[in-house]
Amino acid sequence: MYVAIVESKVNIRWLEFGIKVNNGIKARPKWVHRGGTLAAYDKTPLPYAYIALIGKRHGIEAKSQIFGSISFYEAYFLETAHLDWKAACDHGNRFLPYLQESEPQYVEEMHGVANGAGVSFESILVLNVRTEIVYGLSKDDGCTAISWQNEEALLAQTWDWKPAQGPNLIQLTVRKPDHQICMITEGGIIGKIGINSRGIGVCLNAIRAFGVTYTKLPVHLALRKILDHQGSLHKVVEQIKACGVASSAHILTASMDAAYGIETTHRDVVLLQPQVLALGHIILHTNHLLAKHDGVDERLELQDSIPRLARANQLIQAHIGSPSIAKLKEILKDEEGYPVGICRDVAPTGGSSTLFSIVMDLKDKRGYVKIGRPVGDGEDIVLDASMAQ
């Protein structure tokens, strides 16, 4: 049984949608008021038809952001990959046989999103495989991600992208009686950067390396798969390694017990080992591959990726003592190399800016989000996956 909560950062409203299943008999869907008990709901796994209702609530509540995402990526695909929307949908549909066979729950949820928003399923599928559609042709998606573990366990990142996509960000929460995921995502995309009620968090760095495989898990659905996991972090990382990821990216994931840098290409998955320093175990990543990946054609378009990584390492090592939310927030504000520093701004010639930053406290199961550049006066949002609300 799921309860879905969709909160738009523009229109702050919380809704819960619950389906009760007793003794295998599907009860009629009903609204439940926020604060109502979840204990009365059976833990029987929902049939896929009800998973679609989770997506439908996303589609209804984030309709304007979904239309905004479609409009943005229609123009972006045409500019960067010379694909019109129909051609992009044709590419997206090539993932469908694999997803229907291996991850049917996500197919049903995407159908629900499409139904709720009043758009085609193919349009929602394209958004969720948008990393793969352009085969890694993005030139200025410049994110910086940090895992810092000592007696605390923290994850942090900036998410840098085209300012035109900023208004289409949403806060998305999906809740079951015994599990909850909270993320900041783009309207229509069901997996992105966030934290779950098991204290597992995920961050994402884009990598520009050519190649895509249609029989592996798309990047954004790999993020969702990690957030959906209710067991050990090691187990879900092994699952990601086993199924593979369709294109190049770096997924940084951590819990109180472990942290993994997962570098993916269409050919392989390589796990990065943390740096073991006096101040704790550290994983840092920007937008270029750190491990060796045979047969992968990487184009390092973001020349600032290497100095940003060095700068993040310098800032981490300058801090003494235990990791803290405050220390990581300060690191994410760093503007050395402006406008293409850790805290990114649009260059005079155009490009990306930091659209949000996040610091996750994995012990407390909370993520502290700043909309816009970390040095700005944007909205502050707390993702609370603790299920204590």
Its pTM surpasses 0.75: yes
User: Would you tell me the crossing angle of helices 104-117 and 48-61 to the nearest 10 degrees?
Assistant: 40
Residue appearing with tokens 């009903």: 30
- Whether residue 21 is predicted with pLDDT greater than 50 in this model: the reply is no
Token readout for 227 is 């957030």
**Segment 144-164 mean pLDDT:** 95
Tell me: cis bond preceding 339? Omega within 30 of 0 counts: yes
**Segment 98-117 mean pLDDT:** 95
- Whether residue 104 is predicted with pLDDT greater than 90 in this model: the reply is yes
Q: Tell me how far apart the alpha carbons of residues 44 and 26 are, in angstroms, rounded to a whole number.
A: 10
Chain-centroid distance of CA 269 in Å reads 18
Token readout for 317 is 């090592």
CB of 30 closer than 8 Å to CB of 18: yes
Q: Name which of 6, 94, 2 is nearest 48 in CA terms.
A: 2
Q: Name which of 128, 186, 202, 160 is nearest 340 in CA terms.
A: 160
pLDDT band at 138 (very low <50, low <70, confident <90, very high): low
Q: What are the C-alpha distances in Å from 228 to residues 19, 159, 173? A: 18, 21, 11
- Report which of residues 342 and 14 the model is more confident about: 342
CATH class of 3-133: mainly alpha
> In the prediction, which pLDDT does 218 show?
98
**Segment 324-352 mean pLDDT:** 93
pLDDT tens-digit profile of 251-269? 999 999 999 999 999 999 9
Q: What are phi and psi of 176, to 5 degrees?
A: -110, 170
Q: What is the DSSP letter of 45?
A: P
> In the prediction, which pLDDT does 295 show?
84
pLDDT band at 36 (very low <50, low <70, confident <90, very high): very low
- Whether residue 4 is predicted with pLDDT greater than 50 in this model: the reply is no
What share of the chain has pLDDT > 70, as a percent?
A: 84
Range of lowest pLDDT (31-40, 73-82, 199-208, 315-324): 31-40
**Segment 189-193 mean pLDDT:** 98
**Regarding the domain delimited by 144-384, which CATH topology (the fold level of the hierarchy) does it fall under?**
Penicillin V Acylase; Chain A (3.60.60)
3-state secondary structure of 309: helix
- Whether residue 281 is predicted with pLDDT greater than 70 in this model: the reply is yes
Q: Tell me how far apart the alpha carbons of residues 116 and 371 are, in angstroms, rounded to a whole number.
A: 26
25 burial type by CB count under 10 A (0-12 exposed, 13-18 middle, 19+ buried): exposed
Range of lowest pLDDT (19-23, 89-93, 173-177): 19-23
> In the prediction, which pLDDT does 139 show?
54
Q: Give the residue extent of every domain in the chain.
A: 3-133, 144-384
Q: Tell me how far apart the alpha carbons of residues 211 and 9 are, in angstroms, rounded to a whole number.
A: 34
